[in-house]
Amino acid sequence: MSNVEEQLNALGLTSTEAKIYLAGLGRSGIGVQELSKETQVKRPTVYHALETLIQKGLVSKKGTGARRIFHMSSPENIGHLLDSQIAGLEEQKKGLEILIPLLIARIDETSSETIEVSQYEGIEGIKMVVEEALYCKKRHWDIIAPKRNFFSEFDKNYAQYYLSSRRRRGITSRSLWEKTLEDAKHTPGGHKVTPETVKERNPRYLPSVMSGKFASVMILFDDKVALISSYKTLTAVLIRSTEIHEFMKTMFEGLWQGSEEL
């Protein structure tokens, strides 16, 4: 197969169509018998290829019966063939944009609630959970954090990476912090609360009755609940469940309503 035939194949012509078209190109007219002889393609196959080439706008015919003569269209018409293919693909794309939401809705209607629970151990395991939260689809977290937690006690460089990544990803949040007398107006990490911190994390203080009663961080995002233990325990649990997420979010909303603004 020549390079020209390969290019014609790439544009949508079959190998037989390419041979027939090239054999008659540049002639004032050519018959089926001559095309069959030059291409070594059987006459019934030549007839079929000519008909498909006519449909593609690359061949025209004159006469009837054994006197039919075929004329190959100008190569510029191949461009029209490609334009037609592109138009067809555009229509298919429009149809796909309509179809995808329908298919997703069908999945939602037929699939039952599934729950996935994964447990991670050690510092690297906790980092994996944090990375999943950092790349959440909705880019929003609801967080409950004690004064002393994994991020405040682990390596300061990682804590800085965590905060800068949140900022770079544009993650908005609502943060509920444990309130202690010595840490009024301080983040769980011990830093002073700045206007920038308030804007990024939207923090409030939990009711005082909860002070000193918990050590894990909870992050709600998308349809997931992440529970990250203290630095002492170094364990994380990630739950993927719309039902459980909505339950925990309802609990968060109750605490948020009873929280104290900074």
Both tokens assigned to 66: 């054994």
- Indicate whether 60 and 177 sit together in one domain: no
Does residue 154 belong to any structural domain of this protein? yes
Residues 163 and 218 in one domain: yes
Residue 26 lies in a domain: yes
Distance from chain centroid for Cα 250:
29
Phi then psi for residue 196, to 5 deg, are -65, -40
pLDDT of residue 27: 85
> Do 126 and 189 reside in the same domain of the chain?
yes
**pLDDT tens digits, 253-262:** 999 998 888 7
The one-letter amino acid at 86: I
Backbone dihedral angles phi then psi of residue 223, each to the nearest 5 degrees: -110, 30
The reply to whether 237 and 132 lie within a common domain is yes
CATH number at residue 67: 1.10.10.10
53: containing domain: 3-77
Residues 6+ apart with CB under 8 A from 103: none
| Residue 219 belongs to domain with CATH number | 3.30.870.10
Q: Are residues 67 and 140 in the same domain?
A: no
Domain count, the chain: 2
CA distances to 17, 40, 148, 239 from 23, rounded to whole Å, are 10, 11, 82, 66
Query: What string of pLDDT tens digits covers the 262 residues of the chain?
Result: 678 888 888 778 888 988 888 888 888 888 888 988 988 999 899 889 889 888 888 888 887 666 788 888 888 777 777 777 787 778 887 787 787 777 766 765 655 567 889 999 999 999 999 999 998 989 999 999 998 888 888 888 888 888 888 888 899 999 999 887 555 555 555 556 667 777 778 899 999 888 888 999 999 999 999 999 988 899 999 999 999 999 999 999 999 998 888 7
Same domain, yes or no: 221 and 127: yes
Question: Same domain for 200 and 132?
Answer: yes
- For the purposes of burial, counting CB atoms within 10 Å of the CB of 61, is it exposed (0-12), middle (13-18) or buried (19 or more)? middle
Q: Are 141 and 229 found together in one domain?
A: yes
Distance, CA of 71 to CA of 60 (rounded, Å) = 5
Look at residue 189 in the predicted model and tell me its pLDDT: 52
Shared domain check, 251 and 191: yes
Non-local (6+) Cβ contacts of 83 within 8 A are: none
Residues 188 and 70 both lie in one domain? no
Inside any domain, residue 53: yes
pLDDT of residue 112: 58
Tokens of 204: 């409030």
On whether both 18 and 122 belong to a single domain, the answer is: no
